[in-house]
Amino acid sequence: MIDHPSPIAKPRVLLGMSGGIDSTVSAMLLLEQGYEVVGVTFRTFDSIKESCIAKEKGCCTIDSIMEAKHNAERMGFEHHIVDFRDTFRRCVIQNFIDEYMAGRTPNPCVLCNSHIKWGELMRVADEYGCDYIATGHYARIAERDGHVYLRTAADTRKDQTYFLWMLTEEQLRRTIFPLGEYTKDQVREIARQHGYEQLSVKKESQEICFIPDDDYRAFLRANVPDYNERVHAGDYVDKDGNILGRHQGYANYTIGQRKGLGIALGQRAFVTHIDAEKNQVTLGTNDDLYATELHFKPIKELSPITDNLSPLTAKVRYRSKAVEIKSPITRNEVNRALAAENNQSQISSLIFSEPIWGITPGQSVVLYQDDLVVGGGIII
């Protein structure tokens, strides 16, 4: 683990606060360890008026912002509200829209963490004279041979390194994860012990933060001006190109989907491929969703520690298990073809020791060595 400065030195830590249990308990732990905490909550997608914030009146997502503010005041440290809406829309929301309209399934949390929660918070930390930033993510940091690595959390059920893999070594050197060594049950107990019983039983949101009703299709319709012209009925096909029926527009489907297809084939059908250009959605069986190879655009290069003998593993979904990589390869022919088609500078391939279910373009592939994140990229 990284040895942070002695708490006696009272280093200042900028803590991202959502108003939920994880960031609130993180504040408790940091204070107990002697850090000087500065809380910050950011606005990313809401349309709250400044007068609403000034009056601290609950409306829309103002509730969570004000809850974070009140928790900070209750614990006796300063709290700020910063407006990241323009940056969030340009970086995260626009990417979300572009990816779905290209027939891919984006992972907005990955971009938000690297560009907003760290990229922007690092800047804010400098403005407020903070040595470090901290969040309530379940992850840890380790240092090996002079390099800093993202490390999986002690609570493997809650580990969030899959969403944090884009963080740079520079960002990690200034990061503290107070919850990394705790389980979720322990975090709930800490909240109860400190008199935050309501937080300890509060239901956690599983939706995309800027789509609170979890209806991404309605969100796309409302935010893509020419949506109806671009997304319309097309053909369901099988893997051989035979037409099976009609779908309601390619952007309404994701890889692995089997419900809401509106077609009866005499057996369970799954979405196995989406072709936005042809407006075709390929259906197949569950077995068709297993593959042992994927192509991806590397974004985070393999870290030096990969030179040792421990095997590399990879995850292609948050809840999926890490599967051993049989052969990390770069194929020049594939690279050149895909680079020309997708304007990518480099495309790499991974071959796995066993089939993986539901490899999805637009999602992340995260590479691990033991419990350390050593690389990653976007599946194409």
For residue 339, CA distances in Å to 42, 99, 296, 344 come to 37, 18, 11, 4
Is the domain of 55 the same as that of 185? Answer: yes
Q: How far is the C-alpha of 98 from the C-alpha of 96, rounded, in Å?
A: 6
pLDDT of residue 211: 86
Q: Give the model's pLDDT for residue 374.
A: 87
Residue 53: CATH number of its domain: 3.40.50.620
State the helix-helix crossing angle for 94-101 and 216-223, rounded to 10 degrees: 100
Judge if 299 and 248 occupy the same domain: no
Q: Do 273 and 330 share a structural domain?
A: no
Q: So what's the pLDDT on residue 46?
A: 63
Q: What is the pLDDT of residue 8?
A: 47
Q: What is the pLDDT along the chain (380 residues), one digit of tens a residue?
A: 444 544 445 799 999 998 899 999 999 999 999 999 999 998 887 644 444 444 443 333 677 888 999 999 999 999 999 999 999 999 999 999 999 999 999 999 999 999 998 988 899 999 999 999 999 999 999 998 888 999 999 999 999 999 999 999 999 999 999 999 999 999 999 999 999 888 766 666 666 888 878 899 999 999 999 999 999 999 999 999 999 999 999 999 999 999 999 999 989 999 999 999 999 999 999 999 999 999 998 776 666 665 666 788 999 999 888 999 887 544 343 344 344 444 455 778 889 999 999 999 999 999 998 999 988 899 99
Phi, psi angles (nearest 5°) of residue 171:
-65, -40
One domain, residues 247 and 303: no
Predicted confidence at residue 65, as pLDDT, reads 85
Note whether residue 56 is domain-resident.
yes
Compute CA distances 88 → 66, 168, 221, 325, 336, whole Å.
Answer: 20, 19, 19, 34, 33
Q: Which of 52, 60, 109, 209 is catalytic?
A: 209
| The domain boundary residue, chosen from 182, 200, 218 | 200
Joined together, the tokens standing for residue 39 give 């809380």
User: Is 112 one of the annotated active-site residues of the chain?
Assistant: yes
2 Cα distance to chain centroid? 24
Report whether 312 contacts 324 (CB < 8 A). Answer: yes
Residues 139 and 58 in one domain: yes
Question: 60, 91, 109, 112: which one is catalytic?
Answer: 112
Assess whether 247 and 338 both reside in one domain.
no
Tell me what pLDDT residue 145 has: 84
What element of type H or E holds 21? Answer: helix 21-32
Q: Which domain holds residue 316?
A: 288-379
Q: How is residue 11 annotated by DSSP? A: -
215 within domain boundaries: no
Both 280 and 293 in a single domain? no
- Same domain? 51 vs 195: yes
**Which residue among 147, 179, 200 closes a domain?**
200
Q: Are residues 298 and 280 in the same domain?
A: no
- Report the number of distinct structural domains present in the chain: 3
Contacts 24+ apart (CB under 8 A), 122-125: 122/171, 122/174, 124/14, 124/40, 124/80, 124/82, 125/14, 125/174
Structure tokens at 295: 């192509």
Q: Are residues 167 and 261 in the same domain?
A: no
pLDDT of residue 299: 76
Note whether 263 and 344 are within 8 A (CB): no
